[in-house]
Chain A
Amino acid sequence: MASIDIRDVSKIYNGGVTAVSDVNIDIVDGEFIVLVGPSGCGKSTLLRMVAGLETISRGEVTIGGRTVNDIDPADRDIAMVFQNYALYPHMTVYENLAYGLKNRRTPKAEIDARVAEAARMLELQPYLERKPRALSGGQRQRVAMGRAIVRKPSAFLFDEPLSNLDAKLRVSMRGEIKRLQRRVGTTSLYVTHDQLEAMTLADRLVVLSGGRIEQIGRPLDVYHRPATTFVASFIGSPAMNLVSGELHGSKLALGPALIDLGTNVPTQGAVTVGLRAEDLRLHADAEGSLPFRIDYVEELGSQRLVHGMVGDQAMVAALSSEIPLPETTSLSIAPSRLHFFDTASGQRIDWSGEAVGQVTVTAAPEAVA
């Protein structure tokens, strides 16, 4: 068990393509960090640099206080779980688990004990003599995790380990990984492109885009206070509605509607406004705030996602399935639930009215056309 420090790490490929630039992450001992981002954001490259499978172009990685830049993957005291499991197909489950220990000249008795322990933890005992091809996807994934556990490394590295599983299995394996990590308490670095996986697993999230860190924070902090429009649109499902609005004093002009914020925002003029779909409410009376023209509806059972237009901007609202929907209606939102971002840079603009109590929205349909 150890802390991992990633200091100013960059990856520049031959030919000058920068995959990761100046990344700084401090990972505390025992923490579960999830690197999340769209494909090509450099999250896997970063993980592979920590693992030692890619060279570090610039910067420094320390594991447990030891700089590992020039240390072989085998000697970094880490274990990795791969997306396609990477089990040795010709070895039995037992041999797969034992292989890393055997190469480290661990005594036979200890190998047996550790494999038995890992197999018990992962409920793999009945399969120890089987070859990987005789196992289901979930079982293979457990073997891959077992291979990491038996080594008792100071850190686990997960490279999209659940992407090859079907949706149902993914949910149960997600729980299993979380439980396991809590139990063994090993520092973990986990890469995924699935924001739901990231939210549910992480102690802290690292959102990456284009090789740079967009935001680091606890899942709920990232969800409620996204630092940039990228994070806002990436974390959360459905994605946060990002529309353009205009601030005039304490009033926000959003399409045809004017919302009274009750207090001033430290910027004026054009802003990008973020509205979570679940913060939008159906406003029963026609005098409502945001006139909403419904386009189509996605039924999810517990709720429905209503896609439509406010003025000329698309918006999604997550509404209860029980309320009947007219063709046109209006939506309201508590001003405290509004997020503001700089239109040019995409950076979050903090304002004092956030996360106070619910404020009634003033309808002003005649304000802007």
Chain B
Amino acid sequence: MTRIRLFDHLVLLLGVFIMVAPVVVAFMTSTHEAADIHRNGLSLTWGGHFTETYDKVLTRKGGFTGEITGARMIWNSLILGVGFAAGKIILSMLAAYAIVYFRFRLGTLFFWMIFTTLLLPLEVRIVPSYEVMNKLALTNTYTGLIVPLLASATGTFFFRQFFKSVPEELLEAARIDGAGPVKFFIDVLVPLSRTMIAAIFIIMFVYGWNQYLWPTLMTTDERFFTLVRGIKQILLVWVGSNIPDYNEAFALAILAMLPPVMIVLIFQRWFIKGLTESDK
């Protein structure tokens, strides 16, 4: 029994090591000076330059225009992540509500049309999407960053399946209780979907936060740069001397990781509930 326990723990420890070690290495390395990193490579020891590196990354204006700071990039990423997740949830809930609860002509056809867009990720339609946004003069705006990403089937599909599992009697009881379609949606369906919303919010926030290709294409104005994009930029632009600012790149990478981790930690309980238990 104990032997098996020990073995279990070894496996778990190995898993933890594989997952955490790169993060630790990145964090430790980020506390060294750029020159040290250039000379010695990655480091596992504390470099002692934590405050100055992170302070510099967050507040020093950089880039060609000298207007962008790390904090600004974090802010942009947050807007993209939250806007994307919230917009997607609202859109897909409304779409799923229409598909499940209203019998309109060609309803099933519409659902399958939405569903097949699963086969067309952003990357496939990226050129036409860019063209449309460009013509609408939405490049270098938050709207342009967020809106084209919203339309996709995953959320609609999730909510459709969930709404279908809500017992029909609830709708009937609500109808007899005098709740119209809007009231039923807001008073009954939305609260029932709380855990689903939380789960989808996490997934979508992380997805939006990690967007790289689309922001790269959409934003040429540095004030709209997102963090993920900034990390790439740092090695190209923020070259103070001949040595790239490795420490700052690592610091940004660590910073870029924090918000999604925090979101997951905060919503974890709901997230697991939403995916495993149907709370009815």
Chain A interface (Cβ within 8 Å of chain B)?
A: 51-53, 72-75, 78-80, 82-91, 99-100, 103-104, 147
Binds A, one of B104-112, B123-131, B171-179, B214-222: B171-179
Q: With A82-B169, A103-B183 given, is the CB distance from A89 to B176 under 8 Å?
A: no
Min CB gap B195→A, angstroms: 11
| Residue among A80, A83, A87, A88 making CB contact with B176, cutoff 8 Å | A80
Binary interface encoding of chain B residues 228-270 relative to chain A, with 1 for a CB under 8 A from any of its CBs, else 0: 0000000000000000000000000000000000000000000
Binary interface encoding of chain B residues 178-191 relative to chain A, with 1 for a CB under 8 A from any of its CBs, else 0: 11000100011001
| Residue among A84, A89, A90, A104 making CB contact with B178, cutoff 8 Å | A104
Min CB gap B196→A, angstroms: 13
Q: List chain A residues, Cβ under 8 A from B194.
A: 90
Q: List chain A residues, Cβ under 8 A from B5.
A: none
Q: B191: nearest residue on chain A (CB-CB)?
A: A90
Known contacts A53-B175, A84-B169, A89-B192, then 6 further A-B pairs from the complex at CB < 8 Å, ordered by chain A residue: A82-B172, A82-B173, A88-B173, A88-B174, A89-B280, A103-B183
A72 vs B174: C-alpha distance when bound (angstroms): 12
A51 vs B174: C-alpha distance when bound (angstroms): 13
10 A-B pairs in the complex with CB atoms less than 8 angstroms apart: A53-B175, A74-B179, A82-B169, A85-B169, A86-B169, A86-B172, A87-B173, A99-B174, A99-B179, A103-B178
Contact A80 B279 (CB under 8 A): no
Min CB gap B121→A, angstroms: 35
Contact B280 A74 (CB under 8 A): no
Chain B interface mostly: helix
Identify which of residues 156-211 in chain B touch chain A, using a CB-to-CB cut-off of 8 Å. Answer: 167, 169-170, 172-179, 183, 187-188, 191-192, 194
Min CB gap A68→B, angstroms: 13
Residues of B within 8 A of A (CB-CB), count: 19
Min CB gap A93→B, angstroms: 14
Chain B interface (Cβ within 8 Å of chain A)?
A: 167, 169-170, 172-179, 183, 187-188, 191-192, 194, 279-280
Q: A157: nearest residue on chain B (CB-CB)?
A: B176
A330 vs B192: C-alpha distance when bound (angstroms): 64
Q: List chain A residues, Cβ under 8 A from B183.
A: 103
Contact A51 B176 (CB under 8 A): yes
Q: List chain A residues, Cβ under 8 A from B172.
A: 51, 53, 73, 80, 82, 86
Contact A73 B175 (CB under 8 A): yes
Min CB gap A194→B, angstroms: 19
Q: With A84-B169, A89-B279, A90-B192 given, is the CB distance from A74 to B176 under 8 Å?
A: yes
Contact A86 B192 (CB under 8 A): no
A85 vs B175: C-alpha distance when bound (angstroms): 14
Q: List chain B residues, Cβ under 8 A from A99.
A: 174, 177, 179, 187
A84 vs B179: C-alpha distance when bound (angstroms): 19
Min CB gap A102→B, angstroms: 9
Max chain A C-beta neighbours (<10 A), residue from B172, B178, B187, B188: B178
A79 vs B176: C-alpha distance when bound (angstroms): 7
Contact B175 A88 (CB under 8 A): no
Q: List chain A residues, Cβ under 8 A from B175.
A: 52-53, 72-74
Min CB gap A87→B, angstroms: 8
Contact A88 B167 (CB under 8 A): no
Contact B178 A88 (CB under 8 A): no
Q: List chain A residues, Cβ under 8 A from B178.
A: 74-75, 100, 103-104
Min CB gap B183→A, angstroms: 7
Contact B192 A80 (CB under 8 A): no
A265 vs B169: C-alpha distance when bound (angstroms): 51
Min CB gap B219→A, angstroms: 41
Contact B177 A74 (CB under 8 A): yes
6 tightest A-B CB contacts, nearest first: A86-B169, A100-B177, A74-B178, A103-B178, A86-B173, A90-B191
Q: B280: nearest residue on chain A (CB-CB)?
A: A89
Contact B170 A86 (CB under 8 A): yes
Q: List chain A residues, Cβ under 8 A from B187.
A: 88, 99
Contact A103 B169 (CB under 8 A): no
Min CB gap B124→A, angstroms: 39
Q: List chain B residues, Cβ under 8 A from A83.
A: 169
Min CB gap B166→A, angstroms: 10
Q: List chain A residues, Cβ under 8 A from B176.
A: 51-53, 73-74, 78-80, 100
Q: List chain A residues, Cβ under 8 A from B177.
A: 74, 99-100, 103, 147
Min CB gap B170→A, angstroms: 5
A84 vs B168: C-alpha distance when bound (angstroms): 10
Min CB gap A200→B, angstroms: 25
Q: List chain B residues, Cβ under 8 A from A88.
A: 170, 173-174, 187-188
Q: A85: nearest residue on chain B (CB-CB)?
A: B169
A86 vs B194: C-alpha distance when bound (angstroms): 19
Q: List chain A residues, Cβ under 8 A from B174.
A: 88, 99
Q: List chain B residues, Cβ under 8 A from A74.
A: 175-179
A80 vs B174: C-alpha distance when bound (angstroms): 10
Contact B191 A86 (CB under 8 A): no
Min CB gap B187→A, angstroms: 7
Q: List chain B residues, Cβ under 8 A from A84.
A: 167, 169
| Residue among B170, B173, B280 making CB contact with A80, cutoff 8 Å | B173
Q: List chain A residues, Cβ under 8 A from B167.
A: 84, 86
A88 vs B177: C-alpha distance when bound (angstroms): 11
A315 vs B280: C-alpha distance when bound (angstroms): 47
Q: List chain A residues, Cβ under 8 A from B280.
A: 89
Q: List chain A residues, Cβ under 8 A from B173.
A: 80, 82, 86-88, 147
A75 vs B187: C-alpha distance when bound (angstroms): 19
A88 vs B178: C-alpha distance when bound (angstroms): 14
Min CB gap B165→A, angstroms: 12
Q: A53: nearest residue on chain B (CB-CB)?
A: B172
Q: With A82-B169, A82-B172 given, is the CB distance from A103 to B179 under 8 Å?
A: yes
Min CB gap A82→B, angstroms: 4
Min CB gap B101→A, angstroms: 14
Min CB gap B39→A, angstroms: 60
Min CB gap A186→B, angstroms: 15
